[in-house]
Amino acid sequence: VSTQSTGNCPQAALEPQHKCGCHCSRRVPPLLILASSDSSLESAMADEPLLKYENDNPNGLLEIERLDQLRAPQERCLAQLKSELDADLAQAPPFEEVRGDVRLLRFLRATKYDVMESAQMFRTMMAWRKSADIDAIRNDIVNRNLCQRTLPGYQEFTEAFPVRFFFGQDKEGNPVCRDMLGQFNPKECSLSEDNLQRFWIYHLEFRMLLLDRLSREHNRMMLVYEIKDLEGVGLGQLWSCKPVLQKLAKINTTYYVETTRRVAVINLPGIFQALYTAAKPFIPERSKAKIKIIDESDQNEIVISEDMCLDSFHATEPVFDARPTPPVVIPAGTFKTPPGTPPHVKCNRTDLDVNEFRKAMVDLGIVYAEDLESRYQ
C-alpha cells in the first residue's frame, strides 16, 4: 500500500507490530499482511490503493464510501472486520445503526482501514453501551419516533447552549448542525451534570439513527455538516464552557466516530483570527481540509452557498423530517394504505377514545405531539 510504506525491511510486511530500529517500525495494516500471502489480493492492491482522497489530494479528505459500489480493498477490509468481530456481532443487538455495515465502515474510516484497531474500537463501544444501558435510550427514540425537539432535555439544553440540530441539509444531503457558540452560557443550564450528559447521549443516538437512515437512502456514507458561529464569543466565555464541552466531546470521539463531513467557522472575532493564523502551521493538512474558515461576515452566505442552499443555512425550524420513521408521503390525487401500516382494527365509533386516537396519530407519524398539544390546550 503506497501510503503505508514499510521501507526495505521484509519483516515489517509480515508482523503488524514489528520494530527493527529502522523507519519501518510503523504499524502495518492487517490487509497488507494478508496480501503478503495472497498473490491475487497482492495484485489487486497493486492496482488500487487502500486509501483514496477527494481530488486525489493525499492531504485532503478521505473519499466518501459508496455503499453499493465499495472498492475491492474496502470490501475486503469490511469482510475481514466482520470476521474478526464474528462473536461480538452475534451478541450485539439487531440494530443496523449500531452493528450494520455503515457503522463498521465509520470505524474503518476513523482508523484509515486498520482492521484490528477498528475491531478494538467497536468492542470498546459495545462494552460502554452495555454498562450504560444505551440501548434503552435508543429504543425510547425509536419507539416514540422522537424528533430532535422532543428529545428529553432538549429545551433545557438549548436554552443554555443554543444549537440547531439537523434543521437543514447540504447539497450532498448531509444534515446540518449549527452551534451559536457566542450565546453559550453553562451557568444558565438547569440540567444536572448527569442529565446534561444523558441528553447529549440522546442527541448522539438520534444522530446515528438519522445518519444510518440517510446513508441507506442515498447509498453513500452520510455525515454531519457542522457550522460553528462565533459571533459574540469571548475567550473567557469559552474557558467557562471548556469542562462541559470537553466531557461531551470525549463521548463523541470515543463511541461515535466519523460523523463529521465538514466544519465551517463563521463570524470570527479578531482575536480568534489571530490565534488561528498562529496555529495554522501546526494543524495537520487533513484536519485543515475539513475546516472552512470564513474570515469576513459579509462572505458567509457567498461561501456557505457553495455547500448548501441558504434556506438550510438560515433555518430556525427543521426543513426536513429527521425522525427515525418519517411519515410516508402519498402523491396528491391518490389514496392507499401506506406501507407498514398496522392492520385495520374495526371498532364502534361511539367507543373511540379521543386520547387514544391522538396518540395513534403521533405514533403513525401523521402529526407531531407538540402540534396536538398546542391545538387542544
For position 128, what pLDDT does the model report? 97
Q: Report the 10 Å Cβ neighbour count for 322.
A: 22
- Where the chain has pLDDT below 50, the residues are 1-45, 345-348
Q: Which runs of E-coded beta strand occur in 218-289?
A: 224-229, 260-266
For position 10, what pLDDT does the model report? 39
For position 350, what pLDDT does the model report? 54
CA dist 285 and 58 (Å) reads 9
**Can you give the pTM of this predicted structure?**
0.74
Q: What would the grid cell of residue 358 be?
A: 391522538
Q: How far, CA to CA in Å, does 288 sit from each of 24, 111, 284, 291, 306?
A: 27, 18, 6, 5, 18
Q: How far, CA to CA in Å, does 361 sit from each of 49, 217, 325?
A: 51, 25, 13
Looking at this protein, which amino acid is placed at residue 9?
Answer: C
Return the exposure string of 248-278: e unless at least 16 CB atoms fall within 10 Å of the residue's CB, then b.
beeeeeebbbbbebbbbbbbbeeebeeeeee
Query: What's the pLDDT tens digit per position in 174-183?
Result: 999 999 988 8
Residue 224 backbone dihedrals phi, psi, to 5 degrees: -105, 135
Q: Are strands 163-169 and 175-180 parallel, antiparallel or unpaired?
A: antiparallel
Length of the chain: 377
Query: What's the pLDDT tens digit per position in 117-155?
Result: 999 999 999 999 999 999 999 999 999 999 999 999 999
